[in-house]
Structure 1
Amino acid sequence: MYARPDARAPLYTIGGTGISAAQRLEALADVPLPELLRLTEAAARKSSAEGRGSPSRKDLGMLMVALRMRSEDSEGRPDFAGNSREYRDRLAEVFRRTNMLDDERKRISSAGRRAAGDIVREVLTSEELDDYGLMKAGPSERVREARKGMWVPAEVQKVVRTTPATDANADVLRLTQGALGILSRISDEAIGGLTDVERDTMAVLAGRIEDRAYELRMKATPDDEDA
């Protein structure tokens, strides 16, 4: 039996050090649902307070996966993909109680989903990921690959490549892929060389890009979320 989580401790130490994500999730399985929801709210608040790079995002991601495991998908399985109405309603209520502004809520929930996506890849096998319709590469791996250049999954590249140029949809796909290619040219080193005013301007522009990307994704997959 693994130790019950201490609300004051980082959750990635649940059960001790040197254990797997699956073992940490096993420890969380014994936590009553109301307490699990409270811990998730606390992790979201702490992640917001600590800002970018907060270790609390690991906590938030772990708790989000634990909540997914308390819900069932349409096939009666633990909702590792995070698509069930029950899971989404619970998470929405958690963030509602934080009283965050809408932009901050989106930022923190997105960060939590990315962390949760990485954890899901730790606990599911390749075959299980296929069964859930999830990509093998988690959010962090996709970011690393994107930094190497214009990276998109092979199946996406195939659709873009094979859509007839005369098809109006081809412009939508190629423009989106082109935008990704342009953004991939901006290096971390280049950002580091900006002045304070330029960095503030870059932050505003990046926020507009993030907002538009979110809108496009929701239009393309209205029932989807980062998973």
Structure 2
Amino acid sequence: MSRILLVEDDHSIADMMSIYLSEEGYTVNLAADGQEGIKLFNKYHPDVIILDLMLPDTNGIELCKQLRTVSSVPVMIVSAKNEVSERVNALMNGADDYLCKPFSMRELAARTTALLRRSALTQQNHQAAAASEPLVEDTREIVLDMEKRCIFIHKQPIDTTYSEFEIMKNFWLHPGKVFSREELLNKIRGIDSFVTERSVDVHITNLRKKVEAEPKEPKHIKTVWGVGYKFEM
């Protein structure tokens, strides 16, 4: 049974979310502030964290950043703030999803299930990649294993999100081809909750941090100004 850590200071909303998710078969641990959330995280090691943006003792983004230093557990931010800038900021700081209040309990449960499914797939791929060696004959700095859905940097596997791998796969299969933001967006539409062209820029930034030696001066994932991006081996 999957365990959810719910960090929400509004007791009525927290109780409603907790009851519904429990009825869906999840074990829910409830925290009313960030400090208690950290304690329950360390105690129960949840499979998903649902995190309110505005907490009495901290900001949800700051708490998400703190959690990201020690864990890759999926984090869903819930907030009454629905501006694109808020959603992008959450994604840039480690959140996996962003759900705007008010929301339906069915959508909450569906997104939670999707995060768990994605996390399980990522873990399986990483374990499979770690158990096997990439092609030793391939001396390229960056190598993709399509079957295991894993990126190797200098023969070391790295973790990526589903969307990041999809973007990198298209780069890898078509080196030198210039992709517009819209083209890349269409590759991940239906997978990623953040379906805007700005989302592509965020994913590119995160990919560069993972595959480039100098992310601010990339030699592989290049910006083509006014058009989009291209990949060079």
Q: TM-score, normalised to structure 2's length?
A: 0.31
Q: TM-score, normalised to structure 1's length?
A: 0.32
Task: For CA contacts below 8 A with separation 6 or more, give which structure has more relative contact order.
Answer: 1
Q: Which has the higher strand share?
A: 2
